[in-house]
Amino acid sequence: MAVQQLTPQPDPTVSAWAAARDLPAGKTLAAGDFAAVRVPPAVLPGGSLEQTALAGKQLAVALRQGQLLSDSLLVGPGLLAGSPSGAGAVPLRMADPASVQLVSPGQLVNVVMTSGNGYEQAASSQVLASAVPVLWTSAQGGRAGQWLDAGDADGLMVVAADPDQARRLAGASTQGKLFFVLVGPGVG
């Protein structure tokens, strides 16, 4: 009886889902990729998902074994978590499809449009959006999914943009060639 009185009660825990092993960005989750774990309620991330909502979803970022899963780590609406109100996810097709291999989700980029051909039309460039975060790229293991054929995803990048930036970026690839410039935090 004394031992029972002196033994502290275990801290309360809740069920969560964690990566069962290291997983690469772009991986489509299957049942063996995540495992149930018990964690204190305070460490449960916002946007936690049920097991049925995980299978078949695509990771937007790489995960380490034991890292807790949430909607902000998956390709989908959760990618905009923490973005300012009114922000949108804007898909962009880069002029050089191979260039998207140089950028990863979370990096900040300036999106630049170059128009003209330098011969009959003078070439000019303008920054359409400054320091926008990359949400997804086709090079990070991204798959085309149900809307695009495999070749149609080449050179695609999705960025988070405020409404004004989104308006300038939407359809910009039909007006000129799009490029990006990697920038650091606090740089416009």
Instruction: Please name which of 142, 163, 151, 169 lies closest in space to residue 76, comparing C-alpha atoms.
Output: 142
How many domains does the chain fold into?
2
Region of 153 please: left (phi>0), alpha (psi -120 to 50) or beta: alpha
Is residue 174 assigned to a domain? yes
pLDDT computed for residue 145 by the predictor = 45
Do 20 and 70 sit in the same domain of this protein?
A: yes
Look at residue 117 in the predicted model and tell me its pLDDT.
66
Q: DSSP assignment, residue 160?
A: E
DSSP 8-class letter at 188: -
| No. of helices (H) and no. of strands (E), the chain | 3, 7
Expressed as residue numbers, the domain containing 56 is 8-78
Residue 146 has a pLDDT of 39
pLDDT at position 92 is 92
pLDDT at 147: 39
Q: In this structure, are residues 142 and 28 in contact, taking their beta carbons and an 8 Å threshold?
A: no
Residues 21 and 46 in one domain: yes
pLDDT for 124: 81
> Do 99 and 145 share a domain, yes or no?
yes
Determine, yes or no, domain membership for 1. Answer: no
Structure tokens at 86: 């009114």
Domain's final residue, options 52, 78, 104: 78
Residue that is written with structure tokens 């970022």 in the block: 61
Report the b/e string of 131-145 with b at 16+ CB within 10 A: bbbbbbbbbbbbeee
2 within some domain: no
10-residue mean pLDDT series, the chain (188 residues): 67 90 86 91 82 80 88 79 82 91 89 79 84 83 45 78 91 87 75
Structural domain ending residue among the three candidates 78, 94, 122: 78
Question: Residue 3 domain-assigned?
Answer: no
Q: Tell me 73's DSSP state.
A: G
